[in-house]
Amino acid sequence: MPTALRGHVLECMPTQSGGHGTHHSFRECRFVPQRMSLSEFGLIEVAAVTPELRVADVEFNTARVIDALAACAGEGCRLVLFPELGLTGYTCADLQYQSLLLQKAREALQTIAEATETHGLTAVVGLPLAEAGKLYNCAAVLSGGALLGLVPKSYIVTTNEYYEKRWFTSAFDRTVDSVNINGREVEFGEDLLFRAENLPGCVIGIEICEDLWAVEPPSGQMAMAGATVLLNLSASNETLGKAEYRRDLVRQQSARCLAAYLYAAAGPGESSTDVVYSGHSMIAENGLLLAETERFRFETSFVTSTIDVERLAQERIRNSSFSASRPSKAFRVADFKLPEPVMPSAWQPALHRPLSRTPFVPSDRRETAAHCREIFAIQSTGLAKRLKHTDVNQITIGISGGLDSTLALLVTIKAFDTLELDHSGIIAVNMPGFGTTARTRSNAERLAQLLGVTLRTISIDAAVRQHFDDIDHDETTHNVVYENSQARERTQILMDIANQVGGIVVGTGDLSELALGWCTYNGDHMSMYNVNCSIPKTLVKHLVSWCADEEFSGEVSNVLHDICAMPITPELLPLDEQGGLTQETESSIGPYELHDFFLFHTVRHPFSPRKVFFLAGHAFGSDYSASELLEWLGVFYRRFCAAQFKRSAIPDGPKVGSVALSPRGDWRMPSDASSALWMHEVEKLTELYARPPVGARVRSDASTTP
């Protein structure tokens, strides 16, 4: 039986599968939304196959192709790619001239076409094709029982161990646009693209092995002409170091073309007279390697993955360089219907592609450390540049003992060290109020002392109470006035101290708070330079933890780890009788892990609420019900649209990732845009998949009004 290897998932660590190579497990979901198919979200399950092979045995090779089609169909695949000259074997050499071999390969196309109809998929196989006195190295596209077209290889290689020009003619020298196959005229040429009528954005372009290694691969022209799914039938042999180079080539071409790239390579069943073939098949999408086979396996093996053509189409729209590109040649487009796989009625679509619960945070610890190091350098360098430009050697920063202000303080320390400034020029101001706990205050003050900064502790209780008297507000009414007054008083103190010392105020608010409007306008929303403005909440904790392990040590590290263990809270409501918290942010607005997930897939990939819900179901279905996901999804869209007026007036700060909300950079949105379109879709989803949203869990507080 064929060995199937899944594409990896970012939140799962790879495990070994009984000697069959690395595979990656997928998170079990408590629910998979019913009546949702992959295709409605622009998703398609694909496979790259390295079949068991006997050189020159067309009947055997055809049978293995059909076996693989059945196995791939069982995985829900709709598009399956096979290697170069896979029906005969790439290494047939002068046997490629044999009329019987050529005839049998031609006849095999009908058998494979029938199998595509039986299993409900599209297959692309390789074969030699004699036509008009020339022999071509071809890819045949078969779907739903029919042969759709034949694409000949363009770059015929004759270098070192390769002798293809001895047998094959380049597509550049073809003399016909169609060929007769088994009594039917079929489109023929390297200028063919195949467009799936029933999957918007899915256009298939095909190149063969050496085409990819050329200075200007044909796939680049195909991508500019609209191809989003690029296929390569290959017979690349192995030499030392070639696998890594090949992997990078596939990955980089998928990035350059903003496309999915499937690469199916000939395996060790090819002749080993002079070289060895490993069967290195891969699937990549826009620079990310989704899956690859284990090499040097004689039995049939394949990798499957879910590719997102909707995402690719959106990436192209947003990329001005791509939209300005034009192909230098014309292409013929063959329209066809991409078959639906024949599956049991109880089968549910699976998502086999990287889908992290924390898209801003890599799952691999080593990768996370590298990201944190880079982000920390960007933040601190941005602040250092601002200090150099303003000729300032003193700053003020509010420290609460929470994650955001702690990260901002650590970034400031790094910036001061970069500029060789004394830490005493950092005036860290702790401003305890009605909701400040002893633990957070102690951590803030202890951290300031350990880092050698100038600590000032200023209680805001009396000032805020005076303000309540001035505006005739009842202190027992814990509403938006009660909370915002504290935030604005703290900002006033920071601004005034900055004026006293001739410095600037460093902001501490993060990207997630900006997205949700969880900040007080002209309060904690304001500063003179915000180092955290593009750091989402899920990443802030990792950065502080990384600093504790990598940048600092001893007692400083202990304090940082304790801060990471604290619940997220603005500490604006009075404490209980035991001095404990009565306010936690995520109880009011929802889990940040969900909101950051929603933010990423709404801004970085402008998906519809339906698709975001579908993805969230796969990522979080083991921990949240459909009702919970839809409730917080509704909260996200409502708050995101309502909070734009705050984002339109944010201070400067460095961009660190692919998602940022600066009105001067990545995100431009009218402050009075309606959320109705998105909320209506969430409401329809709720009717279909969940109980009515609770709603009452969202209070009217400092985050929902100015």
Active site residues: 84, 153, 209
Token pair in block for residue 4:
């199937």
692: left (phi over 0), alpha (psi -120 to 50) or beta: beta
| Alpha carbon distances (Å) from 223 to 208, 228, 262, 339, 348 | 15, 6, 14, 23, 32
Burial class (CB in 10 A: 0-12, 13-18, 19+), 457: middle
* Chain centroid offset of residue 65 CA: 32
Largest CA-CA distance found in the chain, in angstroms, rounded: 100
Three-state SS at 525: coil
Q: How far apart are CA 225 and CA 223, in angstroms?
A: 5
User: Are the C-beta atoms of residues 619 and 597 closer than 8 Å to each other?
Assistant: yes
Closest CA to 216 of 256, 246, 245: 256
Beta-carbon count within 10 A of 281 CB: 30
Distances (CA, A) of 138 to 40, 79, 233: 32, 18, 9
Query: For residue 91, what is the DSSP state?
Result: G
At 40 the three-state DSSP class reads: helix
DSSP tag of 25: -
Residue appearing with tokens 């009004």: 705
* Residue 313 burial (CB count, 10 A): 18
Strand order in the sheet with 229-234: 288-292, 282-285, 260-265, 229-234, 203-208, 192-196, 332-336
Other Cβ atoms within 10 Å of 145 Cβ, number: 13
Q: How far is the C-alpha of 243 from the C-alpha of 231, rounded, in Å?
A: 18
Question: Which residues, other chains included, contact 445 with Cβ-Cβ below 8 Å and sequence gap of 6+?
Answer: 430, 455, 457
What one-character DSSP code corresponds to residue 419? T
What type of residue is 633? L
Phi, psi of 126 (to 5 degrees): -110, 140
User: DSSP for 530-598?
Assistant: ETTTT--HHHHHHHHHHIIIII--HHHHHHHHHHHTSPP----SPP-TTS--S--HHHHH--HHHHHHH
Strands 178-181, 184-188: pairing is antiparallel
- Distances in whole angstroms, Cα of residue 367 to Cα of each of 138, 313, 484, 535, 546: 41, 28, 39, 17, 12
396 with 429: CB under 8 angstroms? Answer: yes
Token output for 314: 């959106």
Q: 657: which DSSP letter?
A: S
Q: Which of 701, 515, 531 is nearest to 600 (CA)?
A: 515
**What distance in Å separates the CA atoms of residue 25 and residue 18, rounded to the nearest whole number?**
14
Q: Residue ranges of the alpha helices (H) in 361-425? A: 365-390, 403-418
Q: What token pair was written down for 431? A: 């401003």
Which tokens hold the place of 296? 């040097």
* Phi, psi (degrees; rounded to nearest 5) at 381: -70, -40
